[in-house]
Amino acid sequence: MKPRMSQRIQFSLAYLLVAVIVLSFLQSWLLAPRTIEIPMSKFFELLKADEVEKVAVTEREIRGIAKPGALPSPPSAPGDRLRKLLGSEEETRVFVTTRIPLVDDQQLINELRAHNVEFAGRIETTFWKDLLFGWVIPLAVMVAIWMFLMRRVGGGPTQALSFGRSKHKIFDRKELKTTFADVAGVDEAKAELVEIVDFLKNPRKYQRLGGRIPKGVLLVGPPGTGKTLLARAVAGEADVPFFTLSGSEFVEMFVGVGAARVRDLFEQAKDKAPCIIFIDELDAIGKSRAGASGFVGGHDEREQTLNQLLAEMDGFDSSKGVIIMAATNRPEVLDQALLRPGRFDRQVVVDKPDIRGREAILRLHARAVVLAPNVELGVIAARTPGFAGADLANIVNEAALLAARKEKNAVEMSDFEEAIDRMVAGLEKKSRVLSEKERDIVAHHEMGHAFVAATVAHADPVHKVTIIPRGIAALGMTYQLPTEDRFLLTRSEIEDRIAVLLGGRVAEELVYGEVSTGAHNDLERASELARLMVTKYGMSERIGLATYGERTPLFLKGSGFGGERDYSEATARTIDEEVRAILDRTHDRVRGLLTTKKSALVAAATELKRVETLEGEPLRRLLNGDAAGTNASRRAPLP
């Protein structure tokens, strides 16, 4: 309680000082009587005309009050509006004039007596009016504001105003409805976390043999894979309070605020043990401190917050049932002190789901959606390789919205297809009108991709081809439907992928004899695959098994600065030549494949221009238009 009382006293003293300054300002500038300065000659004119009521005479000036209407109106001032608001606005009758040194005091007194002017060393003011409007009312307003701030920010009239209080959200046992039944597609991670639930429910089961309950569990994985959902499910299964906040909520502009919030968080968690503390985006405060003394620079507030977190994790006893869970998608930038045993003892990888996991996630989210009989969630799962759980949930929701917009009674397969297209390529650009020549080029380009994918041995089957513009720059799309998730690729499979990417460019060359700018993204992706073959995968005879890239020093990791190249100029030239050779060989191969199918390609492009979208059996018939050539070239090796 002593630190909080100290902060309250400090705030009160600071507030009192500011209030006194403000009140003095109001009293001296805004609420003081208006004064007009006149020359000495004007003063004598007013005196001879009996327009002066009383004066105060000093060595340097004469200050007095004139009769109503004797003085001209002064120019407007900032305090006029406030005077009017407070009811103190009145005619200006106070004047001041600078005395001429040669004026005899006795002669001046005689003149004042002759005109019955009251004179003295000072002028009496209305004390009670000045006290009321200058001090009592403003002071009451200041006290009311002070009490309001103490209640709102401090949490109550008897609590201190503290910026070091944690901003976490706490969910008690009644509010947590999430369990492992609400999580799908991450079975391995769930299996790891089941043990954490058992720790919280039956701690003595593990302590009887001398075991120690883990203090921290770090969930590592790409965004949208369900790390926060898993943490909530652990708390729901264990039936314990759940403290949650983001790492960025610890860091403030003032040094020490984040550390104070860490202390407050752990104090509250110990009082509610057993419980779970969940820190999302741990890298916001847990970045490596290795570069703090280098040219990259450091951040004192973040480092003090991290130091306090490390100290708190060392200082509490996990046997009381307080377990810290954290999530990050950038484990490589975390400080090594966080990852050592005794702090985050366990790291649970929450990866993107495979095809079976995606189907399970879709079934989970589709429970609240009315599905039509033609919906095949397995096909949707196959069409979404690389999608995280959040992406799949968005697809189900988007499909439901599309069906409701069309006033359907159930969500159909076409709605899911449209939702996937929106996720992958963006919204349809119906307002983007292409010329006839551009539509012709796009149709031949997309059919070039489709024919190559249907011809080479290791390409995924073509699912749909469209020339409807989508997104920012996509004038057409060729969709391939993977039959299974692939985690390893052979050299021939990568070469076939490059061949499919070059199919659109080669189709333009064959049909028009020239090329357009529409293949720039295809060329970029093909070049990247070829460069990876040479520099990372050891698939070049000239380069060999060595890998090349950039070395990033430890203190630069996570800073946004690149490393230094770890190969010479001669090696760089060889890498460029090998990349160029792979692309040239694949280009020649694709040109040979499409030359034998040119007539079928042109016929398919004409049909695509007419219907704008081809899929299913009509697309397969068009791609199989040259059956003899297809069978003869399907296993053609790369020269």
Q: Set out the domains of the chain in order of their start, with CATH numbers.
A: 34-124 (3.30.720.210), 169-349 (3.40.50.300), 355-424 (1.10.8.60), 436-633 (1.20.58.760)
* pLDDT category of residue 83 using cuts at 50, 70 and 90: low
Stretch 305-321: mean pLDDT, rounded?
Answer: 75
Of 100-104, 389-393, 524-528, which gets the smallest average pLDDT?
100-104
Stretch 268-280: mean pLDDT, rounded?
Answer: 83
What's the pLDDT at 632?
Answer: 34
Q: Is 59 exposed, middle or buried (0-12, 13-18, 19+ CB in 10 A)?
A: exposed
Q: Pick the residue with more confidence: 114 or 635?
A: 114
pLDDT digits (tens, 9 = 90+) for 401-418: 999 999 999 999 989 988
Task: Please report the sign of the dihedral spanned by the C-alpha atoms of residue 396, residue 399, residue 404, residue 405.
Answer: positive
The residue type of 298 is G
Q: What is the mean pLDDT of the chain?
A: 78
Paired sense of beta strands 462-466 and 346-349, if any? unpaired
What's the pLDDT at 399?
Answer: 93
* DSSP run (H or E) holding 52: strand 52-57
Q: Which residue carries 């104070």 as its tokens?
A: 260
Torsion (CA) 559, 565, 566, 570 in degrees, nearest 10:
180
Q: Is the pLDDT of residue 627 over 50?
A: no
**Of 249, 446, 495, 508, catalytic:** 446
Distance CA 481, CA 399 (A): 19
The three-state secondary structure class of 164 is coil
What's the pLDDT at 84?
Answer: 54
Long-range contacts of 548-556 (CB under 8 A, 24+ apart): 548/575, 554/288, 554/290, 555/288, 555/290, 555/291, 555/294, 555/296, 556/291, 556/296
What's the pLDDT at 410?
Answer: 93
* pLDDT category of residue 128 using cuts at 50, 70 and 90: low
Distance CA 502, CA 496 (A): 10
Burial letters 401-420, b for 16+ CB under 10 A, else e = ebbeeeeeeebbbbbbbbbb
* pLDDT category of residue 215 using cuts at 50, 70 and 90: confident
The residue type of 600 is A
Cα 159 to chain centroid distance, Å, stands at 33
Task: Please report the sign of the dihedral spanned by the C-alpha atoms of residue 29, residue 30, residue 33, residue 39.
Answer: positive
Judge whether 267 counts as a catalytic residue.
no
Geometric angle at alpha carbon 36, from 32 and 41, rounded to 5°: 145
Q: Pick the residue with more confidence: 149 or 58?
A: 58
Q: Is the pLDDT of residue 532 over 50?
A: yes
What's the pLDDT at 163?
Answer: 46
pLDDT digits (tens, 9 = 90+) for 564-612: 677 888 889 999 999 999 999 999 999 999 999 999 999 999 999 999 8
